[in-house]
C-alpha cells in the first residue's frame, strides 16, 4: 500500500512539473520591414515584412500560454530601411513584440563595431531585450558589453530556459576591434556547462552559424536541447534531429528570411527532460493582415526613405516574366549559372563595356519576383555595402586581370563546393565548365573557357568589372589584378538602368557555367538535354548581352517542324535570317555576328507554326 501511495505521489509530482512552452522564431530578417515579393492590385508587396510577422506573433501570444520569441540574427543590411535607419526601428519594434533574445549575426558588423554600438545605444536608451553572442571577444571594445552578453536565462512558468548566442566568424566581416572567436566547439561546451551550473532546465542555442556547424555541435556537445538557427536562410518544414551525446535528440530549426515565415515549436519540459510536441512554419503570405500599429510605423519610415531616395515604391520600372532567382531554372541540371547572377553581371558590363563581369552568390541578397518591379525590389537584390556619398551599396570597379589569375579566382570559388555557396561565382562575357570531382585547384576545365565567344588565352589580360565587395575578397584571397579604376557607379544603379532598358525581364540559367562529371570539354548535349525532356518551345536570352559584335542565340523546339530565326533592327526591318529550315526536335544555338551593323537595339524572332517569340538584344561597339 505504501508503495502504491508513493507511486501516485511521484507521478502526480511529475505531472505537476510538466510545462508546455511555445517557441516562436525568425531570423535573417535583413531589415525587411515592409512586405515584398509579388505585387497586389495596389502595387504593394504581398509576403513577409515585420507587420505580418507581428500579426502572427501577437495572435499566438494572445491565445497560448508560455510563449517565447527569438531572433537568430542578421537584422542588418538588405533593404533601404537599413541604409536609412541602420536597424534602429527594427530593434525597437522587436522589443515592442516582446522579443526574448536576438543573437548577433555576421552582418551586424558590416559597418563596424562602432556603428553596431551606436545602433544598440539608440535602440535601447532605457534598456532592451538580450542581445547574445558567446564567442565575441569584446576586450578591444568593452563598452559593447553593455548590450551584448554570452547568454541569458528566462524563467517560464517555473522552467529555467538558458539561451546562448553564437556568431559565425565570417572572413568578409568587419568586426575589428571586436574579435569573433573561431573556437566554436570549446566555447559552446563551456557555455552549456555554465548554463547547467546555473540550473538551466532547457538549453537553447540561438545560432548564427549555419546548419553544417549547428549539426556538428549538436552531435558533439552534450546538453543542447534546441538550436534556433540562422545564417543559411534555410527553411526547415520540420525540425532536423541530431542525436546528442547526452542521450536525447537535439531539435534544429530555421525559418528562412525577411519575416516571410515565423517558426512555431511546441515542447514540454518535465522531470524526464524535453519532449517535442509539434512544429509549424507559419507563412506570412497575402492572407495574413499587417498589424495596424506596426505597419503604421513602417509606412511612416517609408516616407523618410522616399524623401532620401525618391519614389522607390510607387514607380514601376519593369516587369519580370518569371521569378529571377538564385537557383537553376532551366531544364538542364548541369547549368550552374543563376538567372539573377546572369542579370546582375550583364548589368555591370552594360555600364562598363569590359570583357567580362563577375559577382559571387554571397553578394546577391534576394531574387526578383515575378510581376511588376520597383526600385526597392532592385535594391533588395543588390543591397550589400554602404557608400557614404550615395547612401547606397557597393560601387562598381573596372580593372584588368591576367588569364592565369582569372583561373585562380575561379578555382578559389570552386574550392568551396559542398562547404559554402557564397563563393561560387556568376559571370557575364564568358563561359566555362568545371568538374566537381577533380581535386581542389584543378576543377576548371581550361579548354572549355570562352571569353566573348573567343578562345581563352591564359597569358592575355582581360578587362573586367566587379563590385567593391568582391574586390575585397580578391585581395583577401591573393588574386592579383591591375589598373583598378573606380567607376562611381553603384551596383544598384547599374542593375536598375538595365531593367529599365529591358522593361520585360526574362532571364534563365543558360549554361554560362556548366558542371561536368568527366573531363571532356566538348560541346555535346548534356545527358538531360535530349529530345525526350523537351516539352515546349523556348527562346533563350542571347549571350552575352550587351555584346560586341558576336552573340549566341539558343532555342529549343519540342517537335520536328519548319523553323525560322530572324534578326530585326530597331525600326522593325528584317536584316538577317539565321535559320529557315525543317529542324528536328532538339536544342540549338546560333551565333550572330553584328560587325556589319552599328551599335544599338536589335530583336531576334523565333517562329515555328503558331509559335512566335521575340527577344531584345543590345550591341555596343
Q: Which residue in 131, 67, 132 sits closest to 97, CA to CA? A: 67
**What pLDDT is recorded for position 8?**
38
500-529 mean pLDDT: 75
Q: Cis check for the bond before 544: say yes or no (omega within 30 of 0).
A: yes
Can you give the residue ranges of every domain in the chain? Answer: 19-299, 315-515, 531-619
pLDDT at position 12, please?
A: 41
**3-class secondary structure, 203:** strand
Q: Is 558 helix (H, G, I), strand (E, B) or coil?
A: coil
Question: How confident is the model over 270-299, as a mean pLDDT?
Answer: 97
pLDDT of residue 324: 95
Residue 510's alpha-carbon distances to 327, 427, 564, 583, 604, in angstroms, are 12, 11, 21, 21, 17
Mean pLDDT of 550-567: 91
Would you list the DSSP string of 71-106? E-S--SSSSHHHHHHTTHHHHHHHHHTT--EEEPPG
Name the superfamily (CATH) of residues 19-299: Metallo-dependent phosphatases (3.60.21.10)
Instruction: Report the distance separating Cα 130 and Cα 415, nearest Å.
Output: 38
Q: What is the pLDDT of residues 2-47, one digit of tens each?
A: 444 443 344 444 444 799 999 999 999 999 999 999 999 999 999 9
Q: What's the confidence (pLDDT) of residue 251? A: 98
Within 8 A by CB and 6+ apart from 113, the residues are 141, 144, 175, 176, 177, 178
Pairing between β-strand 101-103 and β-strand 131-132 as defined by DSSP bridges = parallel
Q: 460-477: buried (b, 16+ CB within 10 Å) or exposed (e) per residue?
A: ebbbbbbbbbbbbbbeee
Yes or no: say if 77 and 107 are a contact pair by the CB < 8 Å rule.
yes
Residue 394, helix vs strand vs coil: coil
pLDDT tens digits for range 483-498: 999 999 999 999 999 9
- Higher local confidence (pLDDT), 527 or 510: 510
Instruction: Please determine, for residue 453, whether its predicted confidence score (pLDDT) is greater than 70.
Output: yes
Q: Which residues contact 188 (CB under 8 A, 6 or more apart)?
A: 134, 166, 205, 217, 221, 224
Out of 142-146, 505-509, 597-601, the most confident range is: 142-146
Band of residue 130 on the pLDDT scale cut at 50, 70, 90? very high
pLDDT band for position 589 (cuts 50, 70, 90): confident
How high does pLDDT run on average in the chain?
92
Q: Which residues contact 394 (CB under 8 A, 6 or more apart)?
A: 363, 382, 384, 385, 387, 467, 468, 469, 490, 491
Q: What pLDDT was estimated at residue 181?
A: 96
Average confidence (pLDDT) over 547-558 = 89
**What is the rounded average pLDDT of the residues 228-239?**
96
Q: How confident is the model at residue 522, as a pLDDT?
A: 52
Pairing status of strand 249-253 against strand 226-229: parallel
Task: Please choose, from the candidates 202, 223, 252, 251, the residue with its C-alpha nearest in 3D space to the C-alpha of residue 21.
Answer: 202
Residue 47 buriedness (CB in 10 A; 0-12 / 13-18 / 19+): buried
At 533, is the pLDDT very low, low, confident or very high (cuts 50, 70, 90)?
A: low
Cell, residue 608:
515555328
Mean pLDDT within 137-143: 97
CATH homologous superfamily, domain 315-515: 5'-Nucleotidase, C-terminal domain (3.90.780.10)
Q: Which residues contact 62 (CB under 8 A, 6 or more apart)?
A: none
**What is the pTM assigned to this prediction?**
0.83
The architecture in CATH of the region 531-619 reads Sandwich (2.60)
- Which three three-digit cell numbers place residue 21? 512552452
Question: What is the average per-residue pLDDT within 295-319?
Answer: 97
Please, which residues have CB within 8 angstroms of residue 293's CB and are 6 or more apart in sequence?
none
Task: Please give the angle made by the CA atoms of 238, 106 and 366, to the nearest 5 degrees.
Answer: 65
- Report the range of poorest mean pLDDT among 38-42, 70-74, 516-520, 592-596: 516-520
Dihedral of CA atoms 79, 84, 86, 88 in degrees, nearest 10, equals -110
Q: How far apart are CA 49 and CA 33, in angstroms?
A: 5
Amino acid at each position: 500500500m505504501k508503495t502504491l501511495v508513493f507511486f501516485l505521489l511521484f507521478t502526480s509530482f511529475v505531472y505537476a512539473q510538466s510545462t508546455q512552452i511555445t517557441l516562436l522564431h525568425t531570423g535573417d530578417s535583413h531589415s525587411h520591414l515592409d512586405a515584398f515579393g509579388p505585387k497586389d492590385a495596389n502595387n504593394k508587396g504581398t509576403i513577409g515584412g515585420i507587420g505580418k510577422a507581428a500579426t502572427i506573433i501577437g495572435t499566438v501570444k494572445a491565445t497560448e500560454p508560455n510563449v517565447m520569441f527569438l531572433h537568430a540574427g542578421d537584422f542588418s543590411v538588405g533593404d533601404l530601411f537599413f541604409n536609412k535607419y541602420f536597424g534602429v526601428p527594427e530593434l525597437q519594434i522587436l522589443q515592442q513584440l516582446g522579443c526574448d533574445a536576438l543573437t548577433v549575426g555576421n552582418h551586424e558588423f558590416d559597418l563596424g563595431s562602432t556603428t553596431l554600438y551606436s545602433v544598440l545605444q539608440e535602440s535601447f536608451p532605457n534598456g532592451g531585450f538580450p542581445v547574445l553572442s558567446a564567442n565575441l571577444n569584446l576586450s578591444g571594445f568593452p563598452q559593447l558589453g553593455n548590450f551584448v552578453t554570452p547568454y541569458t536565462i528566462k524563467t517560464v512558468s517555473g522552467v529555467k530556459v538558458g539561451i546562448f548566442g553564437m556568431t559565425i566568424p565570417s572572413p568578409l566581416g568587419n568586426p575589428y576591434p571586436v574579435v569573433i572567436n573561431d573556437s566554436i566547439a570549446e566555447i559552446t561546451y563551456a557555455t552549456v556547462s555554465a548554463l547547467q551550473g546555473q540550473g538551466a532546465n532547457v538549453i537553447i542555442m540561438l545560432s548564427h552559424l549555419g546548419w553544417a556547424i549547428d549539426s556538428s555541435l549538436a552531435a558533439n556537445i552534450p546538453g543542447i536541447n534546441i538550436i534556433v538557427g540562422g545564417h543559411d536562410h534555410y527553411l526547415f518544414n520540420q525540425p532536423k534531429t541530431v542525436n546528442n551525446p547526452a542521450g536525447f535528440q537535439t531539435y534544429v530549426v530555421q525559418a528562412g528570411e525577411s519575416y516571410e515565415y515565423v517558426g512555431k515549436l511546441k515542447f514540454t519540459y518535465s522531470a524526464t527532460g524535453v519532449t517535442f510536441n509539434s512544429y509549424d512554419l507559419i507563412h506570412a503570405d497575402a492572407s495574413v493582415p499587417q498589424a495596424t500599429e506596426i505597419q503604421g510605423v513602417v509606412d511612416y519610415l517609408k516616407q523618410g526613405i522616399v524623401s532620401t531616395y525618391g519614389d522607390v515604391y510607387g514607380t514601376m520600372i519593369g516587369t519580370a516574366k518569371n521569378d529571377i532567382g538564385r537557383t537553376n531554372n532551366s531544364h538542364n541540371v548541369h547549368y550552374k549559372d543563376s538567372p539573377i547572377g546572369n542579370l546582375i553581371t550583364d548589368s555591370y558590363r552594360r555600364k562598363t563595356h569590359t570583357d567580362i563581369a563577375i559577382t559571387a552568390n554571397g553578394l546577391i541578397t534576394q531574387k526578383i519576383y515575378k510581376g511588376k518591379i520597383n526600385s526597392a525590389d532592385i535594391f533588395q537584390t543588390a543591397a550589400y555595402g554602404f557608400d557614404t556619398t550615395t547612401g547606397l551599396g557597393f560601387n562598381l570597379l573596372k580593372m584588368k586581370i591576367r588569364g592565369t589569375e582569372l583561373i585562380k579566382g575561379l578555382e578559389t570559388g570552386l574550392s568551396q563546393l559542398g562547404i559554402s555557396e557564397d563563393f561560387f561565382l556568376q559571370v557575364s562575357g564568358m563561359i566555362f565548365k568545371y568538374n566537381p570531382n577533380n581535386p581542389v585547384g584543378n576543377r576548371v576545365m581550361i579548354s572549355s573557357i570562352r571569353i566573348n565567344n573567343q578562345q581563352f588565352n591564359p597569358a592575355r589580360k582581360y578587362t573586367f568589372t566587379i563590385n567593391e565587395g568582391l574586390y575585397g575578397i580578391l585581395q583577401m584571397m591573393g588574386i592579383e589584378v591591375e589598373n583598378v579604376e573606380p567607376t562611381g557607379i553603384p551596383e544598384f544603379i547599374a542593375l536598375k538602368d538595365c531593367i529599365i532598358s529591358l522593361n520585360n525581364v526574362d532571364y534563365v540559367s543558360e549554361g554560362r557555367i556548366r558542371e561536368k562529371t568527366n573531363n571532356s570539354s566538348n560541346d555535346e548535349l548534356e545527358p538531360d538535354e535530349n529530345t525526350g525532356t523537351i516539352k515546349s518551345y523556348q527562346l533563350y536570352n542571347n549571350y552575352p548581352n550587351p555584346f560586341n559584335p558576336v552573340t549566341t542565340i539558343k532555342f529549343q523546339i519540342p517537335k520536328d517542324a519548319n523553323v525560322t530565326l530572324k534578326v530585326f533592327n530597331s525600326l522593325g526591318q528584317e536584316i538577317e535570317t539565321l535559320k529557315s529550315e525543317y529542324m528536328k526536335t532538339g536544342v540549338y544555338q546560333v551565333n550572330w555576328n553584328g560587325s556589319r551593323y552599328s551599335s544599338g537595339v536589335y530583336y531576334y524572332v523565333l517562329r515555328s507554326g503558331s509559335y512566335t517569340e521575340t527577344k531584345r538584344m543590345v550591341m555596343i561597339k
